[in-house]
Amino acid sequence: MTSEKAPTKSLGNVLVVGGCGFLGHHIVRQLSETYSCNLSVLDLKTTRNRFPNVSYHDVDITSSEAVTSAFKSLNPQVIIHTASPATVTEGSSSREKGNAGKIFYKVNVEGTRNLLEQATQLGGVKAFVYTSSASIIHDHGSDLINADERWPRLYAPTQKEYYSETKAIAEESVLAANRKDGSDMLTCALRPALLYGEGDMQYFPNLMTAYAKGQTKFQLGENDNLWNFTYAGNAAHAHILAAIALLQTHSLNTEPLDNEKVDGEAFIITDGEPLYFWDFVRTVWRAAGDKTELRQVWTLDRSTGLFIATIIEWLFWFAGGRVPNLSRQKVNYSCMARYFSIDKAKDRLGYKPQTDMKDAIERSVQWFQERQEVGAEKKDQ
């Protein structure tokens, strides 16, 4: 939760698309607890992560009719679009194929374009904030060293992950819609790097499962590769700052200077604390109760890890094509560097992480352990 005081001026009618999802519900929580606004949520299903005094609406964002009806009813002035299909945890596969790829394109690309089109036709939308991904500038093979927004979006064949490619295509559409054809709708995109936190159902569960299985004495690589991570609460705070900045710009009689612009711009968001990859993982495990000491850790170098992973992948392929827990891509992720600069977000959005990483990890682990306890109690009943 942000510690800043609520603004005296209302943000108006705010619509969070995907507001029952992982990041979306963090945004809704902060808006409902800290800011003055008339708050609504669109999601495919709105049965989870609900808050009082928020209106919820089941809507398929790929349906023009459904979105048009919702927009006419809710009359949003601010749209924060976080909706996206769940992706396989980074490092588990290469480019997505088949049905998964079709869903990524349909929701991320076609759904986003539909929202933009209906918002433009409706009129009255002042600010449109899109949740992109820092992964759109990464080929998922090379090291990223202090990368920033000047790095280009990547597409096939350079881009190896189809999910990231669809996010890049969608971001391009969002930024192109800024002031398009005389429209006064302002847009921007935020690029969180590897989200974690309460409600995460992709990255953290893998770490907690490894802890539960007693796998904390193993490590891939020498742990000399820096990474950035982003607590969902900090990412939510950044989205709200972006919406406020767009509203402020909308109220101006002239366009801001290039070095001050928020509209039409993308911003990388992280916790601002690069950590060595395995330091983050072991901080999570220690918060969960792990007592493993570094002298007890068995380290596999990258080449050995890749050799073992190749054998396992072939065995799994012969056994029916399932994805193994250890893959070549996971080995590469564990050994590559991937960290970013957030100077642009600091300078133009006034972004500063509201929760430090240590507290964020402890909150996240506590949430998962409480959830596991509830699940265990239900099984015993």
Kindly report the CATH number assigned to the domain that includes residue 100. Answer: 3.40.50.720
3-state secondary structure of 373: helix
The predicted pLDDT at position 7 comes to: 46
137-173: pLDDT as tens digits: 999 989 999 999 999 999 999 999 999 999 999 999 9
* Cα dihedral sign, 51-56-60-62: negative
DSSP type of residue 262 = -
Range of the domain at 63: 13-202+227-276+338-356
Task: Over range 33-49, report the average pLDDT.
Answer: 95
pLDDT in the model for residue 103: 92
Amino acid at 85: P
**Is 68 a domain residue?**
yes
**Cβ(111)–Cβ(42) under 8 Å?**
no
pLDDT (0 to 100) of residue 22: 96
Instruction: Confirm whether 155 is domain-assigned.
Output: yes
106 noted as active-site residue? no
Least confident of 156-165, 211-220, 314-323, 346-355: 314-323
220 assigned to some structural domain: no
What's the pLDDT tens digit per position in 190-220?
999 999 999 998 888 889 998 998 989 989 9
233-247, 293-307, 364-378, range with the lowest pLDDT: 364-378
Q: How many domains does the chain have?
A: 1
With cut-offs at 50, 70 and 90, classify the pLDDT of residue 294.
confident
Q: What is the mean pLDDT of the chain?
A: 90
Confidence band of 10 (pLDDT split at 50, 70, 90): confident
| For residue 5, pLDDT beyond 60 | no
How long is the chain?
Answer: 381
In this structure, is residue 379 part of a structural domain?
no
325 in a domain, yes or no? no
pTM for the whole structure: 0.91
Query: Binning pLDDT at 50, 70 and 90, where does residue 313 land?
Result: confident
Running DSSP on this structure, what letter comes out for residue 350?
Answer: -
At residue 93, the pLDDT reads 42
Residue pLDDT, tens place only, 252-261: 988 898 899 9
76, 14 Cβ separation under 8 angstroms? yes
Q: What is the pLDDT of residues 44-75, one digit of tens each?
A: 999 999 999 999 999 999 999 999 999 999 99
pLDDT in tens, 86-123: 765 444 344 455 677 889 999 999 999 999 999 999 99
Cα(325)–Cα(63) distance, rounded to whole angstroms? 36
Residue 242 has pLDDT above 50, yes or no: yes
| Residue of 45, 72, 167, 379 with catalytic role | 167
pLDDT interval class at 319 (50, 70, 90): confident
Phi, psi (5° rounding) for residue 154? Answer: -110, 145
